[in-house]
A = this chain, B = another copy of it.
Amino acid sequence: MTERIRESFSLAELAERFGGTVIGDGATRIRQVAPLETAGPNELSFLTNRKYHKLLSTTRAGAVLLPEGSANATQLPRIVCKNPYASYARIASLINPEDRPAPGIHPEAFVDAKASVAASAAIGAFAVIESGVEVGEFAVIGPNSFVGREARIGAHTRLHASVTIYHDCVIGERVILHSGVVIGADGFGMAMDEGRWLKIPQIGRVVIGDDVEVGASTTIDRGALDDTVIEEGVKLDNQIQIGHNCHIGAHTAVAGCTGIAGSTRIGKYCMLGGSAMISGHLTIADSVVVSGGTLVAKSITEPGTYTAVFPMQPHAQWLKNAALVRHLDELMRRVRDLENEVKRLGRG
């Protein structure tokens, strides 16, 4: 980790800012957050799960964040609060503020004369801002990034290095787009005609709400006719593919490598596990959890957790069981035959 000199805070200050009750020495100085196993005397750690209770007896942390039910699980200085993980997030952000570049357009950037860039925004080296683009207050456009004509980038939004925004797309406020993200490429739309694929122009946009974060190399295609919409607060991990005309509800979180095919509508507060695959033209209700690796081939109308994963086994055992899966219909037939034969014997 970088060894910059950081501000320190007393435990009492932290509780005052973010809530919770201090037990023990409120003057304890906190310079950083750290896991229970490695924290040192100026570091604050946290407990979110009872199964880690035993780590409290060996930790060298200076102080700990504890949930209300575990207030006395240690004698260390501590803040007892409702949601220690959320408090940890807020304190970690206070101690480790984002390092944003200073406002201004880098002399090596290219900004079209017909683009509008807020004076408080920062445009990195070799970034390209095309005509008609609007870049909001305090926004950051990273080096080597591209913002196509007429696109809008909201206030406080950050594009890291090498992000691509195609023309006309709209990015909300406080959005974070990591390197390699591509927003607004053409959706996969074509018509077969006499042995050749005809391209269907993709004339919709991508519209991304406020407070969305998009991980490295994730791609979101523009709509064919209507827009592709990512509502506010959605969190997308790396290497996700979202097809044209999808609509992702607010505060839904999607883990890495997941693919969502075109025109699918996903509810609010859903959680999609890594490497999941959602087929096209489906509707997924609010608060649905899809396990990692699961292919969803039909709509889901009820909240709950859904799974479709072949269980892992040592290869030799898998070979046997996979062969049996291929012949389940035969097994079923044999069971039916047995049932008939046993019925006959019973009557005998």
| Interface of A toward B, CB cutoff 8 Å | 1-2, 33-35, 38, 83, 85-86, 88-90, 92-93, 96, 98-99, 106, 108, 110, 124-126, 128, 142-144, 146, 148-150, 160-162, 164, 166-168, 176, 178-180, 182, 185-186, 188, 190-193, 195-201, 203-205, 211, 213, 215-217, 219, 221, 225-227, 233, 235, 237-239, 241, 243, 251, 253, 255-257, 259, 261, 269, 274-275, 277, 279, 291-298, 304-315, 317-329, 331-332, 334-335, 338-339, 341-342, 345-346, 348
Contact = CB atoms under 8 A, between A and B. Distances in A.
Given A128-B126, A200-B92, A334-B335, A315 B306 contact: yes
A192 B270 CA distance: 12
B191 A86 contact: yes
Given A164-B161, A241-B257, A185 B215 contact: yes
B146 A146 contact: no
A182 B180 contact: yes
B216 A219 contact: yes
A60 to B, nearest CB: 15
Contacts of A225: 1, 33-35, 38
Nearest to A190: B235
B255 A188 contact: yes
B238 A219 contact: yes
A151 to B, nearest CB: 11
Nearest to A39: B225
A335 B346 CA distance: 16
A73 to B, nearest CB: 20
A98 B192 CA distance: 20
Contact of A180 (B83, B198, B217, B261): B217
The 9 closest A-B pairs by CB, nearest first: A308-B312, A293-B295, A86-B193, A146-B161, A257-B259, A185-B216, A305-B315, A275-B277, A164-B179
Contact of A308 (B150, B243, B274, B311): B311
